[in-house]
Amino acid sequence: MNSDTNAPARPRRPVIGICARTAPVTLQDSDLLVALALNAHVAFLAEAGAVPVLLPLVQGARELIGRLDALLVPGGPDLDPALYGAAAHPATRAMSPDADRVELAVLRAALDAGLPVLAICRGMQALNVLHGGTLHQHLSDVTGHDGHRPRTASFTLGRQPLTLLPGSQIAAVLHGDEEHTACHHHQAVDRIGSGLAVTARTADGTVEALEVVGHPFAVGVQWECGQTPDKRLHHALAHAAANLRKEPAAAMSIH
């Protein structure tokens, strides 16, 4: 007889979808186009007790939201400016309009379902556009400097001091510490979408964090979360997903 028969069932780990990006790679002398996620996103979420899954941006992807406990929308190419009623700037390098629309539909479905969401860089811009906001298509035209995307021979993260809104979700995750961005973006939020609150800015006024008003955990950050060793936001997302999984069991125990 199995001694574990009467043992309480182990709680299932929260499942967190990561919106996929496509990129060309060379593997065994073959040029391939692959769907991928930054390994740091996978590793940080797994370390926090979640099971990360890749979510390709194909038709029907939003139907998987019911099987997820949270969503991470990572950085990537620029959004199609037509999504916010603008013509393309010469510096805009958009992804696929079809993939953009699928990602927005996935993000909308996640928010409507009350899932925790972490939107990073392009992801935060998508969050703003989804709520009717607009973007600065080339930030240096507005700020007069390239501090948010340094022009260097190799990939370099910009470091800008952050001002966090006291009492916000982002301030709670970062414990109100003095923070600096680790950013590499040439676009940024312009007009704020309806139902969103700005919860962090840099000294030049650039929006660095947005939150969905009234949502338990829906946070967008403009900096390259996942390109540094800082895991706090990933762990906060996993924690919010785990808490969401506990709620139905807690509600049933009341009756």
pTM of the model: 0.89
What confidence tens digit (pLDDT) does each residue in 101-140 have? 999 999 999 999 999 999 999 999 999 999 999 999 987 7
For the chain, the C-alpha Rg in angstroms (whole number) is 19
Domains and CATH numbers, the chain: 15-247 (3.40.50.880)
- How long is the chain? 255
Percent of the chain's residues with pLDDT above 90? 63
Cα–Cα distances in Å, from 239 out to 20, 55, 216, 224, 247? 22, 20, 12, 20, 13
**For residue 255, is pLDDT > 60?**
no
Predicted confidence at residue 219, as pLDDT, reads 98
**For residue 4, is pLDDT > 60?**
no
Between CA 17 and CA 33 the distance in angstroms is 21
